[in-house]
């Protein structure tokens, strides 16, 4: 399993934990309208991603993301100048 595949699996697991979806969440569905993520759960997702991947995610960038696939991209394409790392 390569890094991006592992990241995708972990991100989807986090989204599944806080969303109202059975099974693996589709990458292209809206987190809020399709997957039932509420604002409190979105904060929990943000904190879980930061904890799992040992990185800081800028709040403004996180708010712009609307899909699980967007969250995967956010983690995979983290800003190199922020000193973030994926473990």
- pLDDT, position 79: 63
Cβ neighbour number for residue 16 with a 10 Å cutoff = 16
Domain membership of residue 83 (yes or no) is no
**CATH at residue 13:** 1.10.1200.10
- pLDDT, position 80: 53
Q: In this predicted model, what pLDDT tens digit does every residue of 37-71 receive, in sequence order?
A: 999 999 999 999 999 999 999 999 999 999 999 99
Of residues 19 and 69, which shows the higher confidence score? 69
pLDDT mean over 29-39: 93
Domain membership of residue 84 (yes or no) is no
Confidence of residue 22 (pLDDT cuts 50, 70, 90): confident
- What's the structural domain count of the chain? 1
Domain membership of residue 70 (yes or no) is yes
Whole-number Å distance between alpha carbons of 2 and 18? 25
Whole-model pTM: value is: 0.85
Domain membership of residue 87 (yes or no) is no
Domain that residue 56 falls in: 3-78
Domain membership of residue 67 (yes or no) is yes
């Amino acid at each position: 399993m390569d890094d991006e595949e592992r990241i995708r699996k972990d991100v989807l697991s986090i989204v599944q934990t806080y969303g109202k979806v059975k099974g693996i969440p589709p990458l292209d569905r809206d987190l809020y309208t399709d997957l039932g993520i509420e604002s409190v759960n979105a904060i929990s997702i943000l904190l879980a991603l930061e904890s799992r991947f040992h990185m800081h995610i800028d709040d403004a960038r996180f708010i712009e993301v609307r899909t699980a696939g967007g969250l995967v991209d956010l983690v995979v394409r983290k800003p190199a100048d922020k000193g973030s790392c994926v473990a």
